[in-house]
Amino acid sequence: MNRLLLIFATVVSISAQAKQPNILWLIGENLSHDLGCYGASDVHTPHLDKLAAEGVRYTRVFATNPACAPSRSAFFTGMYQTTTDTHHMRSHRNDAFRLPEGVRPITQRLRDKGYFTANIKMVGNQSVGTGKLDLNFVNEGPIYDENSSDWAALKENQPFFAVVNAEESEYDIYDRKSREKKRVEWVGEHIHVKYAKPESVTLPPYYPDHPVVREEWARYLNSVSGMDARFGKVLEQLHKDGLEDDTIVIFFGDNGRLEPRGIHWCYDNGLRVPMIIKWAKNHTSPPQHKSGTVDDRMLSLIDVTATTLALAGIEKPALMQGRVFLGAKADSPRKYAFAARDRIDETVQRIRSVHDERYHYIRTLSAGPTFASLNRYKEKCFLIMPLMRELHTQGSLRGPAPELMQRSGPCEELYDTQADPHEINNLIRSGQVDHQQALHRLRGALDAWMIETGDRGSTPEPAAVIAPFAREMHEWFGTPKWAE
């Protein structure tokens, strides 16, 4: 009898291990390390902090682009957007473009393995996600399964790969009609949060200490707290439905922080994103994952793609540039994380970036103003931009802000992100041996990456492709008088 029980237990154990785990991606919009578990203040993120305490918190994860569509095009394929020709913002929306041969969206590969793929918007009658795609490819067939926007579909369709795209970190920069109310209040589909207060927030040194900047910074932090509340509803439902112990949860940001020098720019706060992974209790965790720990390895968001496939039992495609960082078949660790920024809306810039564990090298190849270049969306929706222009014209900017407004390409920048996390001290002209060695090493690494990955940014878009974006952005946001 005892032997039979042992055999039965062994069979059950083997069966449990053979069962594919569910995988849940929680994607935050436009944020950096602005969570309590990363040491951020004036923000309330109890649900993601709890997820970090029960999982692994990663500190060196970098987007491949500081804007949503190119970044998402990369981590949905596991390929650099500069390799697949999806590197310009909102490109290939109205043409016959197809992804290169052998490149496919992650959801299609997972469906081939028997996964139900879902882009969740609703949990019961509560809105929890936007259903956002924002990919620079539209001719690859269905990205998700049909009728997959409601959480209720998951329980009967396992294993599943589900994505919830947050909306809160975008707050209301477009119309500015909402107002923060109580500390946490659900109003219809929206959450109003008021934890951060303008008078108490700590501003980065590259902005002026001004009431407008303080108000904007508080609004951003409150939007992150709202995102946490929304994801809390998702995690609560995962537990209620009995799915938690069979689901690997991966939370990460799609690109950097929603601020003028964050999103759209290859600075650390435009590229470094949070990531937390919580393992499924009913599945043996890999040796690289120990609950309640912090992982400082260098990672790119395209590594999340390759690793997700590996967790589902899918061999990484031969051409995929992302690396597997969990499991018995993990790839060798990264030494560098690369990123690129090209045209965003009507604004043409070509910038390349490489991080190692300490230094960050940025190369601007395009000519003309960088931070101060015209982008109508940012000019209208980011109130700090017109404020800085006004103060700069008046000659009243102090500290790093005037240099930021005057910066122009082509140029190079090198920052020691350990000693200078805000990246305000450009070390290019430093005579220190360590910095010079880092500069030469990162220059070489970036040159090699651009060649090896077939960087498409060296081929400019035709003027006829760019012109409609300028018209469209003018219709949406207007054109400031100084740029007319």
pLDDT value at residue 484? 87
Nearest to 167 by CA among 191, 146, 143: 191
Higher-confidence position of 4 and 248: 248
pLDDT digits (tens, 9 = 90+) for 118-135: 999 999 988 899 999 999
User: pTM of the full predicted structure?
Assistant: 0.93
Residue 390's pLDDT band (cuts 50, 70, 90): very high
Report the C-alpha dihedral over residues 380, 385, 387, 393, rounded to 10 degrees: -120
Domains of the chain are 2-333 (3.40.720.10), 341-483 (no CATH)
**What is the share, in percent, of the chain residues with pLDDT greater than 90?**
86
Q: For residue 193, is pLDDT > 90?
A: no
pLDDT value at residue 191? 67
Q: What are phi and psi of 450, to 5 degrees?
A: -65, -35
| Cβ count within 10 A of residue 14 | 10
pLDDT value at residue 181? 44
Q: For residue 320, is pLDDT > 90?
A: yes
Mean pLDDT of 93-99: 95
pLDDT value at residue 186? 57
Q: For residue 483, is pLDDT > 60?
A: yes
Residue that has been written with the tokens 């190849």 in this structure:
365
Q: For residue 472, is pLDDT > 70?
A: yes
Higher-confidence position of 338 and 169: 338
**One-letter identity of residue 150:** D
pLDDT digits (tens, 9 = 90+) for 61-84: 999 999 999 999 999 999 999 999
Q: For residue 364, is pLDDT > 50?
A: yes
pLDDT value at residue 358? 97
How many helices (DSSP H) and strands (DSSP E) are in the chain?
13, 16
Q: For residue 89, is pLDDT > 50?
A: yes
pLDDT value at residue 15? 44
Find the helix or strand (DSSP H, E) in which 300 lies: strand 299-300
Residue that has been written with the tokens 């918007």 in this structure:
121
Residue 5's pLDDT band (cuts 50, 70, 90): very low
Find the helix or strand (DSSP H, E) in which 229 lies: helix 211-240
Mean pLDDT of 369-374: 97
Beta bridge partners of 340: 352
Mean pLDDT of 301-316: 97
**One-letter identity of residue 389:** R
pLDDT digits (tens, 9 = 90+) for 417-469: 999 999 999 999 888 989 999 999 999 999 999 999 999 999 999 999 999 99
Mean pLDDT of 104-114: 98
Residue 164's pLDDT band (cuts 50, 70, 90): very high
Angstrom distance (rounded) from CA 262 to CA 65:
11
Give me the chain's average pLDDT, please. 92
Mean pLDDT of 21-49: 96
* E strands, 110-167, in order: 116-120, 122-123, 126-127, 160-165
Angstrom distance (rounded) from CA 228 to CA 222:
10
Residue 157's pLDDT band (cuts 50, 70, 90): very high
Cβ(258)–Cβ(31) under 8 Å?
yes
Handedness of CA 223, 228, 231, 237 (dihedral sign): negative
pLDDT value at residue 429? 84
pLDDT value at residue 59? 98
Q: For residue 17, is pLDDT > 60?
A: no
Instruction: Report how far Cα 219 is from the mean position of its chain's Cα atoms.
Output: 19
Cα angle at 300 between 36 and 234, to 5 degrees?
45
Angstrom distance (rounded) from CA 417 to CA 359:
6
Q: Could you tell me the two tokens for 373?
A: 């270049």
Q: For residue 9, is pLDDT > 60?
A: no
What are the residues whose beta carbons fall under 8 Å from the beta carbon of 123, sequence distance 6 or more?
Answer: 151, 233, 234, 237
Q: For residue 7, is pLDDT > 90?
A: no
